Amino acid sequence: MSKRNGVTLLNDKLKEGKNVCVGVDTDPKEISKEIDEFLRSSYRIPPYASQGVVMRRFNEGIIRATCDSVCAYKFNLKFYLAELHQGLWALQESVRFAKEVAPDVPLIL
């Protein structure tokens, strides 16, 4: 798809009966210790790496698990800005991943 039109994409999804918008409002303070450790271990993220890397991988899991059943993804800028440049990097990578895995799902910021 060369041109993304959010309204058209959303209407197409609603016609398919998909009416759930997933909020990708990742607050690293709310990611449990167990999930943080699982992501760091699974993706070989060193303990000194920033939360931005963990946020990105967490978001990828959400997007991968829901891409066949949603009408849209909504990213809340507040959570990414709170992590400064690493949060904005995580947002950028998450948006790129969503476009790759679910090119026909509209993204809301």
pLDDT of residue 72: 97
Q: Dihedrals φ, ψ of 56, to 5°?
A: -60, -50
Confidence at 48, pLDDT banded by 50, 70, 90? confident
Confidence at 5, pLDDT banded by 50, 70, 90? confident
Instruction: Please state whether the predicted TM-score (pTM) of the whole model is above 0.85.
Output: yes
Q: Which of 27, 26, 22, 28 is nearest to 108 (CA)?
A: 22
Q: C-alpha distances in angstroms, 104 versus 2, 10, 24?
A: 11, 9, 17
Mean pLDDT of the region 52-74: 96
pLDDT exceeds 80 at position 74: yes
pLDDT exceeds 60 at position 2: no
Q: Tell me how far apart the alpha carbons of residues 71 and 14 are, in angstroms, rounded to a whole number.
A: 6
Helices 51-66 and 84-101, interaxial angle, to 10°? Answer: 20
